């Protein structure tokens, strides 16, 4: 029995859902998203969406909770949106943006120029005496996570000094250096 898949999803005001036999289309104030689905049944009754499974096959059980989570994230995204914040820890590490172009100085010989998808709003904050912060905001949770992971992959935090690109609030497991 799927605990996640059985939870009903309440549809907030301002969100419209177009339910087709093979895909679901969610539209809200921040944007619109589409997701294909199979092997599960989706019903909408009085602003409550429920995902049920017609059989007890292993593949159907696996998709039950998956599609419920994907649809809940779509509804949350078009109504409230998702935000990821990355922090640049290290001497000389900088970030700036012009529109959708992100310019990162991460200690390499050249700066890294990255074109960000138009669905993701990007903002860089550089306060004196604090580490630079990159804020990514979008209605698509998967896209925000992908862009944040891509930026983080340029310079992962290392365990000795903690330098690199990390998520705000992320705890880095530190190692002891050489013992003299």
Looking at the domain assignment, is residue 109 inside a domain?
yes
Tens digits of residue pLDDT in 105-146:
999 999 999 999 999 999 999 999 999 999 999 999 999 999
Average pLDDT over residues 49-62: 92
Q: How far apart are CA 95 and CA 79, in angstroms?
A: 29
**2 in Cβ contact with 64 (< 8 Å):** yes
Read off the CATH number of the domain in which 32 is found: 3.90.930.12
pLDDT value of residue 2: 63
Do residues 16 and 86 share a domain?
Answer: no
Domain residues for the domain of 27 are 3-79
**Among 164, 172, 156, which residue's Cα sits nearest to residue 89?**
164
Looking at the domain assignment, is residue 175 inside a domain?
no
Do residues 67 and 90 share a domain?
Answer: no
Q: How confident is the model at residue 60 (pLDDT cuts 50, 70, 90)?
A: very high
Q: How many helices (H) and strands (E) does the chain have?
A: 3, 13
> CB-based contacts of 85: which residues, under 8 Å, 6+ apart?
133, 134, 135, 136, 167, 168
Check whether 180 has a pLDDT greater than 80: no
Q: How far apart are CA 55 and CA 179, in angstroms?
A: 60
Q: How far apart are CA 7 and CA 171, in angstroms?
A: 31
Average pLDDT over residues 52-79: 93
Boundary-marking domain end, from 51, 79, 107: 79
Looking at the domain assignment, is residue 172 inside a domain?
no
Q: How confident is the model at residue 177 (pLDDT cuts 50, 70, 90)?
A: confident
Boundary-marking domain end, from 79, 95, 124: 79
Do residues 100 and 152 share a domain?
Answer: yes
Do residues 24 and 70 share a domain?
Answer: yes
Please state, for a pLDDT cut of 70, what percent of the chain lies above it: 98
């Amino acid at each position: 029995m799927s605990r996640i898949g059985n939870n009903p999803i309440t549809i907030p005001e301002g969100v419209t859902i177009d339910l087709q036999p093979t895909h679901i289309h969610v539209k809200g104030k921040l944007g619109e998203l589409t997701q294909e689905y199979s092997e599960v049944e989706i019903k909408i009754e009085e602003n409550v969406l429920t995902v049920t499974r017609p059989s007890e096959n292993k593949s159907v059980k696996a998709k039950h909770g998956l599609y419920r989570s994907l649809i809940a994230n779509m509804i949350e995204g078009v109504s409230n949106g998702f935000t990821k914040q990355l922090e640049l820890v290290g001497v000389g590490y900088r970030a700036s943006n012009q529109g959708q172009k992100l310019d990162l100085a991460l200690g390499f010989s050249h700066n890294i120029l990255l074109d960000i998808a138009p669905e993701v709003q990007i903002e860089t904050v550089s306060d004196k005496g604090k580490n630079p912060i990159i804020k990514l905001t979008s209605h698509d949770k998967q896209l925000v996570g992908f862009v944040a992971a891509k930026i983080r992959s340029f310079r992962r935090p290392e365990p000795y000094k903690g330098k690199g690109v990390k998520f705000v609030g992320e705890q880095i497991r530190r190692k002891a250096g050489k013992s003299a």
